[in-house]
Amino acid sequence: MEGGSTNTGAETLEIQPPNQIFILSGQSNMAGRGGVVKDHHHNRWVWDKIVPPECVPDSSILRLSADLRWEEAREPLHVDIDTGKVCGVGPGMAFANAVKNRLGTDSGVIGLVPCASGGTAIKEWERGSHLYETMVKRTEESRKCGGEIKAVLWYQGESDVLDIHDAESYGTNMDRLIKNLRHDLNLPSLPIIQVAIASGGGYIDKVREAQLGLKLSNVVCVDAKGLPLKPDNLHLTTEAQVQLGRSLAQAYLSNFC
pLDDT per residue as tens digits for the range 139-177:
999 999 999 999 999 999 999 999 999 999 999 999 999
Number of domains in the chain: 1
Using alpha carbons only, give the angle 7, 87, 210 rounded to the nearest 5 degrees. 125
What is residue 106's predicted lDDT score, i.e. its pLDDT? 72
Q: Is the distance from CB of 141 to CB of 1 less than 8 angstroms?
A: yes
CA 158 to chain centroid, in Å, comes to 15
* Region label for 145, one of left (φ > 0), alpha (ψ between -120 and 50) or beta (otherwise): alpha
Which residue numbers are catalytic? 28, 232, 235
pLDDT at position 6: 47
Does residue 2 form part of some domain? no
Q: Is residue 176 included in any domain, yes or no?
A: yes
Half-sphere exposure of residue 113: CA atoms within 13 angstroms, side-chain side? 27
Domain assignment present for 194: yes
Residue 105: per-residue pLDDT: 74
How many residues in the chain? 257
Comparing CA positions, the residue from 234, 221, 216 lying closest to residue 178 is 216
* 157 in a structural domain: yes
- Edge to edge, the sheet with strand 192-196 lists 70-72, 61-64, 110-114, 20-26, 148-155, 192-196, 219-223
Q: Is there a domain that residue 7 lies in? A: no
Domain range holding 48? 40-256
Mean pLDDT of 43-60: 96
Is the per-residue pLDDT at 58 higher than 70? yes
* Mean pLDDT, rounded, for 72-82: 98
Cβ neighbour number for residue 90 with a 10 Å cutoff: 33
Give the pLDDT of residue 2.
42
Summarize the confidence of residues 229-245 as an average pLDDT: 97
pLDDT cut 90: percent of the chain above it: 89
Average pLDDT along the chain: 94
**In this predicted structure, what is the pLDDT of residue 117?**
98
Does residue 11 surpass a pLDDT of 50?
Answer: no
Give the single-character DSSP code of 127: T
83 domain residue, yes or no = yes
Distance CA 197, CA 71 (A): 30
Encode pLDDT of 83-99 as tens digits: 999 999 999 999 999 99
Tell me if 1 is assigned to some domain: no
Give the pLDDT confidence of 176-225 residue by residue, as tens digits: 999 999 999 999 999 999 999 999 999 999 999 999 999 999 999 999 99
Collapsing DSSP to helix, strand or coil, 77 comes out as coil
pLDDT band at 57 (very low <50, low <70, confident <90, very high): very high
Tell me the CATH number at 80: 3.40.50.1110
Cα-flanking dihedrals φ and ψ of residue 180, to 5°?
A: -65, -45
Listed residue (111, 105, 104, 34) closest to 72, CA to CA: 111
Q: What is the pLDDT of residue 4?
A: 53
Residues 101 and 233: their CA atoms lie apart, in Å, by 32
- In terms of Cα–Cα distance, which of 229, 115, 120 is closest to 181? 115
pLDDT score of 10: 40
| Domain-located, residue 55 | yes
The helix or strand, by DSSP H or E, that contains position 192, with its residue range, turns out to be strand 192-196
Amino acid identity of 12?
Answer: T
CB atoms within 10 A of CB 143: 18
Q: Which helix (H) or strand (E) holds 138?
A: helix 130-142
Predicted model pTM: 0.94
98-122 mean pLDDT: 94
